[in-house]
Amino acid sequence: MRLSTDDLMAAADELLPMMTTVVGVLVPGAAPLLSIGAKIVQGVAAAVPEAEALYARIQSGDVPTQAELDAYATAEDGAYAALMAKLAAA
Amino acid sequence: MRKFLFGFLAAAILTGCTANQAIDSAQSVTATAAPTIIANTSATPAQAKAVADATLAASLTWQALGLYVGSGHADAAVMARIGQLAPPVHAALKAAQDAQRNGNSAGVAAGLSAFQAALGALKTYATTKGVM
């Protein structure tokens, strides 16, 4: 299942005011704003495909194939490794 | 509903609530799936679905926590504790996945149960420390 263009545009319309408000409150400076804004965009972009997959999986009731399970596991391994790397670097 | 889910995640990210809400999602998924698991000698279709849902939910949790860690506003002690609480969650999930591949129904049930417990501990800590 993929989000349609209309879905994405509607979501963007909803997101923009929130982004402006939240980022503006957190960081009044331009450079931090750009930095955090980029992180937000990256975070949303990373989360949406997973959210789509999760939503579709929960709603479908379909039994996943082993190949799908393996693909999910690989993605989860990557996300976990990325988190641990960030923690180690922090 | 898709828009709601998207907006929910996006809003959570923007307000710094991603970690907790993703964990809530993960707990909801596994809590719903776990009771349906029947301890047969071979893994069941319901178990395969439960493992898939838990795996996707765990991915969301790691991404959400990664966003918190990378925000530049994360507390060092909290990050250290997250670093201790996350591995048991991942390990339990891996055990469930391995059991699923091996057709070990009891192993899947045990793995998902451990996953749920470890995730609960992570959520409790994250909530207490205001990560979300």
Q: Which one has a higher pLDDT value, B25 or A54?
A: A54
Chain B residues close to A88, C-beta within 8 Å: 83
C-alpha Rg value of chain A to the nearest Å = 17
Q: Which long-range contacts (CB under 8 A, 24 or more apart) does B73-81 make?
A: B73/A26, B74/A90, B75/B129, B76/A90, B78/B129, B78/B131, B79/A87, B79/A90, B80/A87, B81/B125, B81/B129
CA separation for the pair B24, B121 (Å, rounded):
12
**pLDDT computed for residue A34 by the predictor:** 45
Q: Do A47 and B49 touch (CB under 8 A)?
A: no
pTM: 0.66
- Indicate the residue type of A42: Q
For residue B111, is pLDDT > 70? yes
Q: Do A76 and B56 touch (CB under 8 A)?
A: yes
* Cα angle value B99/B60/B112 (rounded, 5°): 25
Collapsing DSSP states into helix, strand and coil, what is residue B42? coil
* Alpha-carbon distances, residue A80 vs A5, A23, B43, B56, B91 (angstroms): 30, 27, 25, 12, 11
A55 to chain B, any CB pair closer than 8 A? The answer is: yes
Task: Please answer whether residues B29 and B57 qualify as being in contact, where contact means their C-beta atoms are separated by less than 8 angstroms.
Answer: yes
Summarised one tens digit per residue, pLDDT across range B48-106 is 989 988 998 888 888 888 888 888 888 899 999 999 999 999 999 999 999 999 999 99
The ipTM (two decimal places) reads 0.75
How many inter-chain contacts (A to B, CB under 8 Å) are there?
A: 147
CA separation for the pair B24, B18 (Å, rounded):
10
**pLDDT computed for residue A25 by the predictor:** 44
- Indicate the residue type of A60: S
Collapsing DSSP states into helix, strand and coil, what is residue A4? coil
Q: Do B60 and A47 touch (CB under 8 A)?
A: yes
Q: Which one has a higher pLDDT value, A24 or B130?
A: B130
Mean of the per-residue pLDDT values of chain B: 77
CA separation for the pair B92, B108 (Å, rounded):
10
Residues 76-115 of chain B with CB under 8 A from chain A are 76, 79-80, 82-83, 86-87, 90, 93-94, 97, 100-101
For residue A13, is pLDDT > 90? no
CA separation for the pair A79, A43 (Å, rounded):
12
Mean of the per-residue pLDDT values of chain A: 68
